Amino acid sequence: MRKPLISGNWKMNHNHFDAITLVQKLSYVIDRHDVEAVEVSVHPPFTDLRSVQTVLEADKIPLALGAQNCHWEEKGAFTGEVSPAMLAKLNVRYVIVGHSERRELFGETDEDVNRKVKAVLKFAMTPIMCCGETLAEREAGATEAKVLRQVNAGLAGLDAAVVATMVVAYEPIWAIGTGRTASVEDAQAVCGLIRRTIADTFGPAAADGVRIQYGGSVKADNAKELMGQPDIDGALVGGASLEAESFAAIVGYRLMD
């Protein structure tokens, strides 16, 4: 059984003071039973990571610490970059890799994403590797080709046993921050396609183990239906993860009407 993973991607929001307040609030409003059934990660900006780590560990808050990106090299002359070794040292467990904002706004290529996935794994953290199509690609019927290209390139060269431990996030770009969610059928169709592709390339055990998240305007009122799909094992949440109440409501999706 795959344990669902619900991740809050804070993007470039909340300074380290706000971050401390938010994780403390989350520790009060997230139900203890929810974190037994569902794994939860928070992904603050780099400048908040040390503060959030300290609070999570001191108060034994059962949230996994996540990052939003990293470089693929361990160290060196890469001004402005953050190394996976530095993240591992902060007990970061999950690293988002290849988010569409990194790809579209900062020119990350499939090859960059593949290097980053390998670097995250090398330092014993788990990549959340993102993929997804633009509206133009969807309207042109190119969704499958785009997603398959990103998944195959991002996972290239990995062992099947490692793929089984990973997380892939399907985030249709047109659904991000727009309030427009993919229909449950469309989301399931693409997540199912991702799992079948992983089965073809890496075998059934990898496909069975890999967790596939859906992201794109996930809210408390659509989380339960999305999470009920056979190939959706979690959610990558942007806007609704910035407030404790809205994120806790998604984490508690099992109890929603």
Q: Catalytic: 104?
A: no
Within 8 A by CB and 6+ apart from 245, the residues are 29
Report in angstroms how near the CB of residue 172 gets to ligand 13P at its nearest.
10
Closest CA to 40 of 62, 57, 59, 67: 62
Q: Catalytic: 99?
A: yes
Within 8 A by CB and 6+ apart from 57, the residues are 91
What backbone phi and psi angles, to 5 degrees, belong to 140?
-85, 5
Q: Which residues pair with 94 in a beta bridge?
A: 66, 126
Within 8 A by CB and 6+ apart from 248, the residues are 26, 29, 30, 31, 34
Out of 4, 172, 238, 252, the only residue in the binding site for ligand 13P (CB under 6 A) is 238
Residue type, 182: A
Report in angstroms how near the CB of residue 135 gets to ligand 13P at its nearest.
14
Helix (H, G, I), strand (E, B) or coil at 124: coil
Cα–Cα distance for residue pair 154/157, rounded to 1 Å: 9
Residue closer to ligand 13P (CB basis): 10 or 202: 10
* Span from 86-94, 108-116, 230-238, 246-254 in contact with ligand 13P (CB under 6 A): 230-238
Report in angstroms how near the CB of residue 160 gets to ligand 13P at its nearest.
26
Helix (H, G, I), strand (E, B) or coil at 92: coil
Q: What is the token pair recorded at 162?
A: 């490692």
* Span from 13-21, 116-124, 200-208, 232-240 in contact with ligand 13P (CB under 6 A): 232-240
Cα–Cα distance for residue pair 185/233, rounded to 1 Å: 15
Tell me if 236 contacts ligand 13P by CB under 6 A.
yes
Residue type, 81: E
* Span from 27-35, 75-83, 150-158, 236-244 in contact with ligand 13P (CB under 6 A): 236-244
Return the residues of window 4-23 that contact ligand 13P according to CB under 6 A.
Answer: 9
Cα–Cα distance for residue pair 203/209, rounded to 1 Å: 10
Return the residues of window 95-124 that contact ligand 13P according to CB under 6 A.
Answer: 99
Residue closer to ligand 13P (CB basis): 160 or 242: 242
Residue closer to ligand 13P (CB basis): 86 or 236: 236
Return the residues of window 156-215 that contact ligand 13P according to CB under 6 A.
Answer: 171, 176-177, 215
Q: Which of 43, 71, 99, 108 is catalytic?
A: 99
Residues that bind ligand 13P (CB under 6 A): 9, 99, 171, 176-177, 215-218, 236-240
Which residues are catalytic, by number?
99, 171
